[in-house]
Amino acid sequence: MTAQIIPSRTAAETALAEAFGASKATLPGTPEVAKLREAAFESFSQAGLPHRRIESWHYTDLRALMREALPIAPAPSADAIAALGKTMAEAGLPAQRLVLVDGIFAPELSGALPEGVKVTSLSAALAEGRTDIITHLSAEWAGAKDPVIALNAALMQDGVVIEVAPGTKIAEPIHLIYATASATPVARFSRSLMLIGAGASVTLSETSFGAGGRTGQTNNGLVMVIGDEAVVGHTLALTETVPGSVRLESFMVLLGAKANFDSFGLITGGGLVRRQIFMRYEGADAKAALRGVSLLRGREHADTTIFVQHCATGCEGRETFRYILDEEAVGVFQGKIHVAPAAQHTDGKMLCKALLLTDMVVMNSKPELEIFADDVACGHGTTCGGLSDEQIFYLQARGLPYAQAEALLLDAFGGELVDEIPNEALVTAFRAEIAAWLAARVKA
């Protein structure tokens, strides 16, 4: 009989175990929630931090890259909240907002939301013990076995539960803002849930304010349950992250019949970023588009991994991602489309394109199809290459310096996906982020 060799814990894994042991008695929730936390941490403990021998983490060896686990952020003080409120007022943030400070919901910094939207802190929802909320939050259908999601479930401090009533129409986006009150790098664990009723129309925009989400270690989870015939938009800005930081984002989306979902994410900045998306077509004739742009320089590492499950008939999916890699950056794109036997007439397409600006960059692309239905139209593709010399020459021949010609082509490459966002204010904001990245690259 061969003995099973269990790898020793790393310093980060040991610190996380100690943090859970010290904090589990104070984390919010009923005794039933506490049992779920224990089970989630046991799942994480058995697997440890994900490493390259786990297929979906092959190109992002978190066990090797995350050398230490920072202390969990304490609840922000009243003085810190007041100081943040003053800064936010000066910055002119959108009024229609929800603010998490170091993973804790801060209603005093949040704004009023339209009629038909109910917001509860995650801690209050867990303390209330609503079975439906807890079931949706667990998202067992998605990545329950993923170590990062299990760790988030065990240590989630707070978040928001957003309930949009059926038929509610909201024109302006709801902004979910991640801020920080800690003066030193800390770890944050938040999980939020958005329940969107049948026939509703709403957009959620996730951003960071100041150092929030840009420093330290962040493990966020967002579950979105979209009702039948609802129209939902979503954007995420993972921008200006600080070198040495770790940001782990898990996004889980469940689509009802004839729902229409559109999502865009932008990644820029230093540190390590892993964004994983789990999307399931639960109802027939639903449509969804997932898009993203990653702009990487230096030795930055950004990983986008998606898993799309088609479980109903007649659904349409489009997944389109683009990368611009400079200096010694590392980009990762992994995407899998799974079509169940019952999901006939599925129309799914996945495409990743990468521009490689130096010989030192690395781009890992791995699109996959897993099809068990007979009548489908599915395809995937990936391309890697440099800028076209002919296009550069064409622009230079018309009087543009090389740097300006290059920036113009890069802006067009990344901005094309931005322009598909169905909200002009968000398009303008993301265009500005891309322009700022390009300007900083030229100055460097």
Q: 3 pLDDT band (50/70/90 cuts)?
A: very low
Taking only the tens place, the pLDDT of each residue in 33-89 is 999 999 999 999 999 999 999 999 999 999 999 999 999 999 999 999 999 999 999
Lateral strand order in the sheet of 377-385: 104-105, 97-101, 174-179, 201-208, 231-241, 260-269, 287-296, 316-325, 347-356, 377-385
What percent of the chain has a predicted confidence (pLDDT) above 70?
A: 98
Gap between the Cα atoms of 198 and 168, Å rounded: 9
Residue 7 has pLDDT above 80, yes or no: no
Most confident of 83-92, 140-149, 316-325, 385-394: 316-325
What is the residue-averaged pLDDT of the chain?
94
Q: 6 pLDDT band (50/70/90 cuts)?
A: very low
Taking only the tens place, the pLDDT of each residue in 98-130 is 999 999 999 999 998 999 999 999 999 999 988
Mean pLDDT of 371-387: 95
What percent of the chain has a predicted confidence (pLDDT) above 90?
A: 91
pLDDT at 197: 98
- Tell me the two tokens of residue 382: 């990936």
Mean pLDDT of 5-33: 90
Residue 381 has pLDDT above 90, yes or no: yes
Question: What are the residues whose beta carbons fall under 8 Å from the beta carbon of 4, sequence distance 6 or more?
Answer: none
Nearest to 159 by CA among 143, 172, 176: 176
pLDDT at 144: 63
Contact 280, 311 (CB under 8 A): yes
Q: 444 pLDDT band (50/70/90 cuts)?
A: low
Taking only the tens place, the pLDDT of each residue in 314-345 is 999 999 999 999 999 999 999 999 999 999 99
pLDDT at 4: 41
Gap between the Cα atoms of 207 and 217, Å rounded: 16
Taking only the tens place, the pLDDT of each residue in 399-433 is 999 988 999 999 999 999 999 999 999 999 999 99
Gap between the Cα atoms of 293 and 304, Å rounded: 10
Lowest pLDDT segment from 176-180, 219-223, 399-403: 399-403
